[in-house]
Amino acid sequence: MPALYHLSRESLLPNNFQVIGIGRRIHEGQEFIQQMQHRVRQYCSHNMEQRYWKPLARKMMSIKNDFKNIDTYTSILNIIGELEKEWKNSANILFYLATSPSHFLSIIKQLADHNLNVQNKSKWTRIIVEKPFGLDSISAKALHEQISKYFNTSQIFNIDHFLGKEAVQNILTFRMSNIMFQPLWNKNYIEQIQIISAETIGVEGRVGFFEQTGAVRDMIQSHLIQILALLTMEHPASLEAEDIRKEKLKLLRSIRKYSIHEAGEYSIRGQYKEGVVNSELECKYTDEIGINEKSRVETYAAIKLFIDNERWEGVPIYLRTGKRMSRRTSEIFIQLKRTEGSTIPTNMKKQTPIANTIRLVIQPRASVELTIGWKPIGLITDVEPTNLQFGIKPDIKEPKAYERLLVDSMNGDSTLFINYEEIIEMWKIVDPIVQNWYLDNKKIENGKLVENLYYYPAGTWGPREANILIEKDSNKWSRL
């Protein structure tokens, strides 16, 4: 709803527009509008103004009913029919499934049974599906097959809100439109790549969801691997959706797929214990409301990947994510190789060369930071690391990810959405890791369960064992 408010504020919604909220426990009438107003006040990036809110509020209504009840879909049909009479035009329809994945198939089938999936030359019908897209490659394939029975590919928009973030959209611009970086974007110049997404929050009311997914399925399988694809794919023939998708898919297929038994060597998982986050004492994961005290679901995951193609052969890529971390951030860290031999001035050869780095911050606020070597003023000849920072000006409001993605879905632009083939390739990367952990959950030695789930205090950067994953390559986690 905050995204819709911002779009309305910027006059980016059509004049004939209606929001219909549907749910079993949803409020009705004025209570529904007040609830949505509260959400806008709570989450919008601007101060909410009545002159922008009131026109949107007049275009909002709700249907309180169960997704399984046929009357729900009859009500939708009746409302659309009345709107089309009022507008004297066919209504374009966008369904947004902000529900548990367990409801997807029954909702989609009911929509089709009531001809709510039909589109023609005078109107379009589209459906937005939230992640997770299944829980593994098998369930993702089954979900796609079922959805495809009722909606064609052009109607399905698989949404990953990370792809709507300003900094993520800027990845291609940064690496492809700046001549100073283009020649460096390969194994000859880049030593390592790290992509991280850290949160200070816990499960925040998403217990059922998170117990099913864990950190690697929730964050790495979707957000981080998509960022990796944009960061490392070949230049597309154009910036059209199909050309970008083609290169992303080619890259995803080049990522090395581990066997179940070797996956443990390239991954670490952890779970937070009691600790202090933002000056507040937080309980351990298994003391959160609704969590089984014996749960071994990971709240932290770190994996090492390789891309087996000519451009990136041998470059280690580290992805990590965690909950109840020291601070909230999502960023990309790229370390370039150090200068060698004749390129170093004679009087500086005893000093370890400075490693140039590139840091692309995605959130909380988009920015770029470059680290270069620089001799300080004076007679000292040592080289010091110096940071150059660029970012969005403080007085500029950064567009929210959902604003861009909602507009794109209404315009039929699928560039920032994920297609089925990408989803399957991402699961092929993650499946062996999850299966390895599942096998280890059952491994007993000397009458005891083998512990491959490591613990870290809330408010830190993860388990100490994660350092081993990167330090055996003589690398270190980037400072955050």
CA distance 341 to 363: 38
| Known catalytic residue at 114 | no
The CA dihedral of 89, 69, 147, 255, to the nearest 10 degrees, is: 120
CA distance 297 to 217: 11
What's the burial of 86, exposed, middle or buried (CB within 10 Å: 0-12/13-18/19+)? Answer: exposed
- Token pair, residue 232, equals 């490392």
Residue 316: cis peptide before it, omega within 30 degrees of 0: no
| Residue 360: strand pairing partners | 332, 368
CB 365, CB 398: distance < 8 Å:
yes
- In the set 144, 161, 223, 235, the catalytic residue is 223
The CA dihedral of 48, 54, 60, 64, to the nearest 10 degrees, is: 80
DSSP-derived secondary structure letter, 117 = T
For 130, the enclosing helix (H) or strand (E) is: strand 125-130
DSSP helix/strand/coil, 297: coil
CA distance 300 to 70: 42
Catalytically active residues are: 223
